[in-house]
Amino acid sequence: MKAGRLFLIFLAGALFGTGLAISGMTDPGRVIGFLDVFGAWDPALLFVMAGAVGVYGLGMLLLRRFQNQNLKLPSTASSPIDRQLVVGAAIFGVGWGLGGFCPGPSLANLGALRIEALVFVPAMAIGMFLAQRFCGADQ
């Protein structure tokens, strides 16, 4: 990949991190506030998803029309809903509810050197490695 493109993808990452921080999703209190439906429910995560899903969905719909040899988009076709997907998503749900961190916000909090992120991210890397090494989750 050319240097210019790599720099732009760095900026896209910075935009992603800025969005995460502004949205409040880097605060596990807000994430667990959303997941705690029988407590003082915090709807913020729903607004984040609405904004992100809306922009990405509309953007991909528009980009599809301009697809050519210079613009190659990845397949967005659904994979089969098999046992691996269901079990993996359920396991992720347990960890998400337990810690209030999903991968993006945990990495974002490395930017503040927060001890929670410094503990969570290496553990997450080990979990990923195990799934990829021993469960064939490496397509």
Partner 1 sequence: MNDYALWHALIGGILIGFASLIATVLSGKIPGISGVFGRLLVPATPDKKWRSLFLLGLIGGAALSFFLWDSAALFRPMRPLAVMGVAGLIVGFGTRLGGGCTSGHGVCGVGTGAKDSIAATLIFVVVAMVTVLIYNRAVL
Q: Cα separation of 106 and 118, whole Å?
A: 9
Using DSSP, state whether 71 is helix, strand or coil: strand
Q: Measured from the CB atom, is 8 or 65 closer to partner 1?
A: 8
Q: How far is the CB of 102 from partner 1 (least distance, A)?
A: 4
Q: Cα separation of 67 and 64, whole Å?
A: 5
Q: Rule CB under 8 A: is residue 90 a binding residue for partner 1?
A: yes
Q: Rule CB under 8 A: is residue 24 a binding residue for partner 1?
A: yes
Asked if residues 51 and 64 have their Cβ atoms less than 8 Å apart, the reply is: no
Residue 71 phi/psi, 5° resolution? -125, 95
> 29-88: which residues touch partner 1 (CB under 8 A)?
29-30, 32, 35-39, 43-57, 59-60, 63, 71-74, 76-81, 84-88
Q: Measured from the CB atom, is 65 or 121 closer to partner 1?
A: 121
Q: How far is the CB of 70 from partner 1 (least distance, A)?
A: 10
For residue 136, what are the contacts with CB-CB under 8 A and spacing of at least 6? Answer: none
> 95-114: which residues touch partner 1 (CB under 8 A)?
95-104, 106-112, 114
Q: How far is the CB of 65 from partner 1 (least distance, A)?
A: 14
Q: How far is the CB of 3 from partner 1 (least distance, A)?
A: 10
Q: Which two three-digit tokens encode residue 81?
A: 């809903």
The distance between the two most distant Cα atoms of the chain, rounded to a whole number of Å, is 51
Q: Among 16, 40, 65, 69, which residue interacts with partner 1 (rule: CB under 8 A)?
A: 16
